[in-house]
Structure 1
């Protein structure tokens, strides 16, 4: 029997969570609460380059995650992006299924993509400099202008028993970088020093996740952030995530400049396609 879509279940007026959505006891939010009093890094891109390099290096090596402000993308454009996502989820189920099953729907061409590519270029240059490399090193390793952007819109409807469920289970992203815009309902948590840390909403900020490919290229100097998403009892949570990835046939491995006798290679070189296959099928990398 096909499992009903979460949105359809929510609209049916649930009072109790269906068994298939109840997480194992050790994963439930009620048993793994976020630590209080810790804030994730927030970095303004308007700062001088030397400060940005240091702040982003620290954020990526210690957290694998940070928020950016003053990034140059207008608040009105972000609002339009969010409007498109909200309108999508108001479509009849049959129409939504057509989009969900269309392989091309993950790729998009519009003004937001152009602006996001500019931000991605800046971040990759700063990340490269933080590693002591030439500014274009990481972008070139991801195949430069062939870098692909894929968008995923996540919708987490109100949940009658949020203490028992997760919107998304703990995971790292396969991408090089993930740049995300949420609505104002909190829920994202990142793993830091053996604790979950809740990420506060900041209007118009972009949430930046270091993904697996940057961790590999940096030979683990930068960490791919483990994160999860919670659900809310009363409010709808949404997020607009853009995954910045190399082409499937790009070979990704630790950059030679970062490998030596004291710091040997921690990963084998493989195509992004093979990496994805191994991760999807839970095969060691």
Structure 2
């Protein structure tokens, strides 16, 4: 059975001013009713090039514990590397449908890798207004060429170049997050898999939507990963939950958005908080984003770090294999 992609549904909906009912969220989730516009939300913006490590560690620790989200500037990834990554991703989604389907996620696959529309169990049959492409970009041993587009021709080169620069950002972030917990500089990196840490690229493609007040691109969630490094395009869409309200996260050109994910919350025994976020869509413009999920190896056991638990601070989370955690979360099974 052929899967209908959101990109095709969006094209068919252009003239109708309506969307299929399976994309209409319940009133408690509709952006038109639940987005708070009374004040701007000042998400932390951190100068990642600050030479004062103690200050940088404190800012990252504060952002991770109070928000679970922050933006970094002066991260040393050249702006042209980011723009080439975005251009190649955009060109892939503009290919004819049959070319994209070559990279479709195989039916019944336990991996998320590939081109697709549905990611997790959908509650009450409701759908997100998004198509996506997943593939691993690091380490080299984890890469599956089957899911790397050959078109546009520059696709592999620009993704490999981005991964090379991203590697430095990840190392520095892990060190800062670790020191911010009072651990050694390498403790957190080792706990999430060391050099086996997986870099999973996802490209989100949110086509124009006639009723952006009723639909969501991606519903409210926290990321399963250790943490996520996201590049958005200039179209507004990321929202975070704060004090029970939904707020837009301001777009800053060339900034990287860092989301604390479930595994870092678990490892920190709750000191760092995974951020609850969602994606809205736009009536006239296509929104795209390029999150890279930093994931432990599938078979790695993840639980509160042993140096952070004691009689006074007992473990708040179960220790379990990352693959088991993912399975439970995608299938809405209580953890």
If the TM-score is normalised by the length of the shorter chain, which range does it land in?
Answer: over 0.9
Q: Indicate the larger mover: 179-188 or 11-20.
A: 11-20
1:100 and 2:150 correspond: no
Is the CA contact 1:28–1:166 (under 8 Å) kept in the aligned structure 2?
A: yes
Q: CA offsets, 1:146-196, max 9 Å, x none? A: 001111100111111111110110001110111110100011001122222
Q: In the aligned structure 1, how far is the partner of 2:11 from the partner of 2:90?
A: 15
Q: Indicate the larger mover: 170-179 or 95-104.
A: 95-104
Q: Which runs of 4+ in 1 moved over 4 A?
A: none
Q: In the aligned structure 2, how far is the partner of 1:79 from the partner of 1:215?
A: 31
Q: Give the match for residue 56 of structure 2.
A: 52
Counterparts of 1:144-183 in structure 2, within 5 Å, are: 144-183=194-233
Counterparts of 1:6-85 in structure 2, within 5 Å, are: 6-12=6-12, 13=14, 14-35=16-37, 36-47=39-50, 48-85=52-89
Which consecutive unaligned segments of at least 5 residues does structure 1 have?
none
Q: In the aligned structure 2, how far is the partner of 1:50 from the partner of 1:239?
A: 31
Is the CA contact 2:71–2:256 (under 8 Å) kept in the aligned structure 1?
A: yes
For 2:28, what is the secondary structure of its paired residue?
Answer: helix
Q: Give the match for residue 136 of structure 1.
A: 186
Q: Indicate the larger mover: 275-284 or 153-162.
A: 275-284
TM-score, scaled to structure 1? 0.96
Number of positions where the alignment pairs a residue of Structure 1 with one of Structure 2: 285
TM-score, scaled to structure 2? 0.82
For 2:61, what is the secondary structure of its paired residue?
Answer: helix
Q: In the aligned structure 2, how far is the partner of 1:151 from the partner of 1:100?
A: 15
Q: Give the match for residue 262 of structure 1.
A: 312
Is the CA contact 1:34–1:189 (under 8 Å) kept in the aligned structure 2?
A: no
